[in-house]
Structure 1
Amino acid sequence: MAKQISELKLGILGGGQLGRMLIQEAINYNLTTLVLDPDADAPCKHIANYFENGSITDYDTVYNFGKKADIITIEIEKVNVEALEQLEKEGKKVFPQSRVIRLIQDKGIQKQFFKENDIPTAPFMLVNSKDDLTNGKFPFPYILKLRKDGYDGKGVMKINDASDVENAFQAPTLIEELVHFEKEIAVIVARNANGDVKTFPMVEMEFNPEANLVEFLISPSTYPESIQERAEKIAKDIAAALNITGILAVEMFITKHGDILVNELAPRPHNSGHQTIEGNYVSQFGQHLRAIFNLPLGDTRSISNAIMVNVLGEKGHDGVAKYDGLEKILSIDGVYVHLYGKKYTKPFRKMGHLTIIDQNREKAIEKARFVQQTLKVIS
């Protein structure tokens, strides 16, 4: 007889806020959770059943940790794939599969995957070093991205003209045509081992111009149904082409001409899905657990208008975190606070998020703007 979910051990590579929120959901299933993270004070430390302080990029550390679990998942892509491949060969279940993680780790391979599978994306070219940027084959301006290790806006640079090439990355990179977009959007899709697929409603995102990471998200979108259906179909097509098990976040642009172009993928719970905890019948974290344990997928419909605001460390503050304005925002109806358990703040560090719920979309946005301006993380 197959084991029930509560009898299994879930290993999570990475102990940050995504792992923390996944564990908070896993507790509802009586799941035993094991976490590996290089930070001895990682957010997951005090809520995991077992916490190990160690490198998630070291082969032996990841392999030995993985042997303790029944199912292994990730909260960040920068992990040792070779160890996961060996664990799969030995019968361990790894979701997303190691081949999917390997593809996502390299933005160049990811782009080639889009091209080979007719996924709409901006024109691109792969280069080995900044010396290759002077050959004139790609018109200025363009976006330059490191093929590996870019994260939360890091490893991305705009090249306006030849003078910017001098400061470009000296590493394998990806050149991408500058997209003049109207809105950045995202669709989260889930797929279980049976091949059942469900998407969450499309969301609209606003990015912090300095840190280049999401700081304001509106769900659900009010774009025409035809655009939303196209975006959801693209997400489903990608999940099917990858044959992925688990959650996949698909970040996209809507151009000024109404075209949809895929930007990047994340094969795990994602910042663009945090509002689902209060805003949808099933959260992205609950859906990820359902998918990797091959359970029926949950109802992804929105319950209400939901605005997600990232709580970022203030500029000029570096030290023990203090949350200024918390009482003021808690006096407002429909505000839900999620702090990530990080002791120290620094400029633009993700310290938490807030979800604002209201049946009136404009009121939800108005409340969220006030919350965004009122709560400050200082030291």
Structure 2
Amino acid sequence: MNYFSSGFKLGIVGGGQLGKMLLYETRKFDIHTIVLDPSDDAPCKIACNEFYQGDLMDFDTVYEFGKKADVVTIEIENVNVDALEKLEDEGIKVFPSPKTLRTIQNKATQKLFYKDNEIPAADFTRFAYTSEIESAISNKTLEFPFVWKSARFGYDGQGVKVVKSYADLDVLPNVECIAEEMVPFKNELAVIVARNPEGSIAVYPVVEMEFHPEANQVEYVICPARINPEIAEEAQKIALKVSESINHVGLLAVEMFQTQNDTILVNEVAPRPHNSGHYSIEASYTNQFEQHLRAILNLPLGNTQSKVAGIMVNLVGAEGYNGPVIYKHIEDIMKMDGVTPHIYGKKETRPFRKMGHVTIVNENMAEARKIAQDVKETIKVISK
């Protein structure tokens, strides 16, 4: 099929920042894009060929949208899988497949998948409702502390809580969830794997993630991870096993823990471009968004190696600010060598909302990390 400067249409379900960055690449290749998103102010709206506003969880909306496309992909997991399944049954290519999405959408199902496929992960207990957890603690089948995770609709640190006491349980929503064993880890790592329909695979270097302690959001992504080569090799090996087991097409971001005794445990996965791969826009030979396109269109996969060390700093809304966004001191960070800001196009900021990111590239990792710290301390995402 001719994808370039042709009548081919790529449908993207979700119009947020991941979709916007994917559109950088579709515009580069002159691939016609249609986007569906619930918000009329979606970041994708300015860059796609056709924009449709609608509920991503509504069957008819997603189904009717998908019929306009030749290939459908996603930039968010919370979509109506039944509609994608029907589209696939009718001959429209959907990547990742609805089957893959069904496994990943629900964290309890995802964790059971790891267990069934002998993929190392933390022990967990599944609950139909949060209210059942108290009985499990009383019966001594569960003990504090543990990590509570909503089975559905968690994102950007939402739907995850470290539970240390009964008081912590009181503020949680009464939904399907899992209680996960606390893992004593030294590093949080991630590996992105690309796979096309023919089964060709490409794997990116292991990255290291530093998280904000309160918001449970990534503050820094560091590539390559500052770990021993043997640990990096093991992390990539496990990521490839997850990829093979789930048989995805497109990108699969595999988040992992490196425990105190250097065991690698899978935390969770995302079947799409991912925050842990943003560094690749400036630092890699083939960035993750171009790679996702290559994979879902069954084109040759690109070189995943890095040209230089890359660090990403997330730009999130500062605490205490709600309203029209201002990027304070952005000119100051743009004076720094190797610094590139990416603004997502969200007009309103609120505390910890992802508003953009900054990439720092440098031939020296220590210098890149120092500049990243300067960036973090300089730029502020506030409101009028």
Shared fold (TM-score, shorter chain, > 0.5): yes
Q: 2:306 aligns with which of 302, 305, 330?
A: 302
d(CA) in 1 for partners of 2:186, 2:297: 38
The reply on whether 1:188 has 2:164 as its aligned counterpart is: no
Structure 1 residue 4, shift from structure 2 partner = 3.7
The reply on whether 1:227 has 2:231 as its aligned counterpart is: yes
- The correspondence of residues 346-357 of structure 1 with structure 2, limited to 5 A, is 346-357=350-361
The reply on whether 1:58 has 2:63 as its aligned counterpart is: no
d(CA) in 2 for partners of 1:57, 1:155: 18
Pair 1:131–1:54, CA change in 2 (3 A): closer
Pair 1:233–1:151, CA change in 2 (3 A): same
Partner of 2:117: 117
Partner of 1:240: 244
Partner of 2:21: 21
Conserved in 2, the CA contact under 8 Å of 1:5 and 1:293?
no
Deviations 1:278-318 (A, max 9, x none): 11100000100000000111000011011100011111111
Structure 1 residue 6, shift from structure 2 partner = 4.0
The one-letter code of the counterpart of 2:101 is I
Partner of 1:107: 107
Structure 1 residue 170, shift from structure 2 partner = 1.1
Conserved in 1, the CA contact under 8 Å of 2:3 and 2:31?
no
The reply on whether 1:328 has 2:332 as its aligned counterpart is: yes
- The correspondence of residues 65-214 of structure 1 with structure 2, limited to 5 A, is 65-133=65-133, 134-135=135-136, 136-214=140-218
RMSD: 1.0
d(CA) in 2 for partners of 1:157, 1:321: 28
Deviations 1:157-190 (A, max 9, x none): 1221344333343111101000111011100000
d(CA) in 1 for partners of 2:27, 2:180: 42
The one-letter code of the counterpart of 2:258 is I
The reply on whether 1:42 has 2:42 as its aligned counterpart is: yes
d(CA) in 2 for partners of 1:14, 1:213: 21
d(CA) in 1 for partners of 2:3, 2:366: 44
Partner of 1:275: 279
Deviations 1:188-231 (A, max 9, x none): 00000110111100000011112111111111113111111111
Q: TM-score scaled by structure 1? A: 0.98
Secondary structure of 1:320's match?
A: strand
Deviations 1:142-167 (A, max 9, x none): 11111111111111112213443333
d(CA) in 2 for partners of 1:228, 1:74: 29
The reply on whether 1:319 has 2:318 as its aligned counterpart is: no
Q: Which residues of structure 2 form unaligned runs of 5+?
A: none
Conserved in 2, the CA contact under 8 Å of 1:18 and 1:269?
yes
Q: 1:361 aligns with which of 341, 344, 365?
A: 365
Secondary structure of 2:55's match?
A: coil
The one-letter code of the counterpart of 1:169 is P
The reply on whether 1:344 has 2:343 as its aligned counterpart is: no
- Ranges of 4+ aligned residues in structure 1 off by more than 2 Å: 2-7, 161-169
The one-letter code of the counterpart of 1:12 is I
Deviations 1:37-86 (A, max 9, x none): 00101101111100111111111110010011111000100000000000
The total of aligned residue pairs comes to 378
Structure 1 residue 130, shift from structure 2 partner = 2.8
The one-letter code of the counterpart of 1:3 is N
d(CA) in 2 for partners of 1:369, 1:147: 34
Partner of 1:11: 11
The one-letter code of the counterpart of 2:220 is F
Pair 1:193–1:161, CA change in 2 (3 A): same
Secondary structure of 2:253's match?
A: strand
d(CA) in 1 for partners of 2:350, 2:319: 7
d(CA) in 2 for partners of 1:37, 1:341: 14
Structure 1 residue 5, shift from structure 2 partner = 4.3
The reply on whether 1:284 has 2:278 as its aligned counterpart is: no
d(CA) in 1 for partners of 2:369, 2:255: 22
Q: Which residues of structure 1 form unaligned runs of 5+?
A: none
Secondary structure of 2:47's match?
A: coil
The one-letter code of the counterpart of 2:350 is K
Q: TM-score scaled by structure 2? A: 0.97
Partner of 1:371: 375
Secondary structure of 2:219's match?
A: strand
Deviations 1:340-365 (A, max 9, x none): 11111111111110000110111111
Conserved in 1, the CA contact under 8 Å of 2:317 and 2:353?
yes
Conserved in 2, the CA contact under 8 Å of 1:36 and 1:53?
yes
Partner of 2:261: 257
